[in-house]
Structure 1
Amino acid sequence: MMRFFSPVLFFILFSFGYCLSAYAQQDITSLKVMTYNIWNGFDWGKDSTRQENLIQWVKEQKPDVLALQELCAYDVDKLKKDAAKWGHLYVQILKDKGYPTALTSKEPINLIEKNVDNFWHGLLHVQTYGIDFFVVHLSPSDVDIRLREAQKIKSRIQELSTNDYIILGDFNAHSPFDAYWLEARTTLKTKMANEKNGTYSNMRLGEFDYASMSEFLSIPAIDVSLGKADREVSFTFPTPALIGLYDQTEETILQNRVRIDYILASPTLSKTCIEVKIFNQGTPEKLSDHFPMMAVFRLNQ
């Protein structure tokens, strides 16, 4: 009996092993990287409905790596519970006060730096999938502060010994690549010019500012949206979730739409980016005041 079933058993085990190997090989040929500003930690933990809806939506997108901003009222244990629901066992959070950033991953995360002293919200630098990730949330209030933050991050990246890095998050800044359509937004320019708060201003001499994003691009870091998404409809802020709040109406939401969330990659890594999605329609319209975005990279090819 054993002689009769041994070849069959061998064939079954061989086929099973081959399938596992093929699945594992398929699993690492692409890497889905997402960034999402979740808006005040779901009202500092009070909006459980929006929290669960966002978790379910993220789970459906199946990112391998997720950068998060505005994790207000979160600590590492709370983040672990949420991340487990979208399939990520590994997390790193910048801090547990104010407006933390974080990164979750399917693979182990190596912490490189948490810096909360020299940045408006802080800088989180980690490694996962063999890539250095810099999760940013730059100042929402002042062009000069953002520029100094960008210069500090630029200096850190240029000191790296690796060619694989990704900078992602809420930059609160305009890209020079968007100037060709942004400069025509006179209503938005007037609005921003009138929002000066003391010494803080999001305009430079009354004009849109592109300095901080230019610093990142000169690292060099590549905006992976280029050639993969229509930048005129790649707005990431604000969303219809803000209608009725802060004097926002449906009309002002449309007038104020801009791209301030980005995924930037090192030149070598950017060449492997095969797809970019800006999720600014449908379900995400009600999940946060920012829209998420995701880049897909081809690995091990």
Structure 2
Amino acid sequence: MNCKRSIILALIFFSHLPALFAQQPSLRVITYNIFEGMKLDTAAGKPSFVAWIKKMDPDVLALQEVTNFTQASLEKLAEQYGHRYAVLLIEGEKFPVAITSKYPILHVQKVSDNMDRGFITASIQGYNIVSVHLTPFDYRKRAQEIDLLMAHIKAQPVQQKWIVMGDFNTLSPVDSANYSDGRMIANYQAYEKKYAPILKLADGKIDYSVIEKVHKAGFTDVLHKMHPGFVKTVHPKRFEPKTGSDVSSRIDFIFISKDLLKKLATARVLTDDFTDNYSDHYPVLFELK
């Protein structure tokens, strides 16, 4: 009798496994600054970009610099690579962000006020997704923007299952050794001289405060978690200088709330023949189990 009961209980348990797994779906996401609307893919319909996205097969795509797209044209493009849903921050702006997805994009919030470029938050498959693009200019404005984003997230009713990704246009303290040769500071000093009164440096030093605030808010940098050594996202091969060495940096990030760490499967910068040539940023991929 006990043996039969055990078998019955086991059958009941295994019959419920699909439902248990469905409650916490896996997820494959990519964040990508596509360089003024993927303008280097000049053919109608962006066929090279579409083919590459199909190959990578993300569930969710967070995009920055979705230039010259409307909501309708973004939906049309996304359908070509298998994403039935798409959201554009705003039409008619030069550098809007966007999200496309295989799954419905719910509870969309778009923030462009007090932002140079803006961000979108949405719910997809139970995960809270952010696509953000911080200003590339003055570090003081960037500080205001990250404060706004972190406050926006903190004001939400749910503080779990957050994935915050995009072009942060700033450097991380965990990569500081890569910038210790002084070349990045020299670049920023030259920029300040040309575009005064814009400030790229804080008291003559690299400003790490933006990423520090994200860390302090409880988020984990997934690429650094998986690859503690420096991995650049700027510049891809096409945009490296013809003479001398590139002043490389990592300014594209994916951060997750700590409750997702146990599901972290992989994270990497995507370098291949396509990403070497079609944008001035490399994309970053992240997967949850």
Range class of TM-score, shorter chain: 0.7 to 0.9
Aligned match of 1:203 in 201, 204, 229?
Answer: 201
Are 2:144 and 1:144 aligned? no
Unmatched tracts of structure 2, length 5 or more: 1-16
Q: CA RMSD in A?
A: 2.4
Give the share of equivalent positions with the same residue, in percent.
26
Q: How far apart, CA to CA, are the structure 1 residues paired with 2:148 and 2:95? A: 20
Say if 1:190 and 1:50 are closer, same or farther in 2 by CA, change over 3 A: farther
Q: Which residue of 1 aligns with 2:74?
A: 79
- The separation in 2 between residues aligned to 1:50 and 1:290, in whole angstroms, is 21
Distance apart, 1:158 and its partner CA: 1.6
Partners of 1:59 and 1:118 lie apart in 2 by 35
The residue that corresponds to 2:3 in the other structure is none
**Is this contact kept in 1: 2:41–2:278, CA < 8 A?**
no
1:121 aligns with 2:113: no
Q: Which residue number in structure 2 is paired with residue 32 of structure 1?
A: 28
Which runs of 5 or more structure 1 residues have no equivalent in the other structure? 1-20, 244-248
1:250 lines up with 2:242 in the alignment: yes
What is the CA-CA distance between 1:230 and the residue it aligns to?
4.6
Q: Does 1:178 align with 2:175?
A: yes
- Give the letter for the 2:27 counterpart: L
1:234-245 matched pairs, under 5 angstroms: 234-242=231-239
User: Where does residue 70 of structure 1 map in the other structure?
Assistant: 65
Q: Corresponding residue for 2:164?
A: 167
Residues 87-144 of structure 1 show CA distances to partners (whole Å, capped at 9, x for unaligned) of 1101111011221100011110014311211101112111111111121100001111
Q: Is the 8 A contact 2:30 2:61 kept in 1?
A: yes
Contact 2:235 2:281 in 1 (8 A): yes
> What is the CA distance between 1:206 and its match in structure 2?
1.9
Q: Do 1:240 and 1:286's aligned partners in 2 also have CA atoms closer than 8 Å?
A: yes
1:264 corresponds to which residue? 255
Question: How many residues were matched structurally?
Answer: 269
- Counterpart code for 1:33: V
Question: Corresponding residue for 2:226?
Answer: 228
Q: Deviations over 1:250-297 (max 9, x none)?
A: 345x42211000000101013311100201343210111110011000
The structure 1 residue matched to 2:265, chosen from 268, 274, 295, is 274
Q: Partner letter of residue 82 of structure 1?
A: L
Distance in structure 2 (CA, Å) of the matches to 1:48 and 1:242: 21
Separation of aligned partners in 2, 1:217 and 1:54: 32
Which amino acid in the other structure matches residue 135 of structure 1? S
Distance 2:146 2:103 in 1: 28
**How far, CA to CA, are the matches of 2:72 and 2:25 in structure 1?**
31
Aligned 8 A contact 2:226 2:267 in 1 = yes
Q: 1:264 to 1:112 in 2, by over 3 A?
A: same
In the alignment, is the contact (CA less than 8 A) between 1:133 and 1:165 conserved in 2? yes
Q: Which residue of 1 aligns with 2:284?
A: 293
TM-score relative to the length of structure 2: 0.86
Query: Moved runs in structure 1, 4+ residues, more than 6 A?
Result: none
The equivalent of 2:10 in structure 1 is none
C-alpha distance in 1 between matches for 2:45 and 2:74: 15
**Does the residue aligned with 1:189 lie in a helix, a strand or coil?**
helix
**Secondary structure, aligned partner of 2:46:** helix
User: Which residue does 1:5 correspond to in 2?
Assistant: none
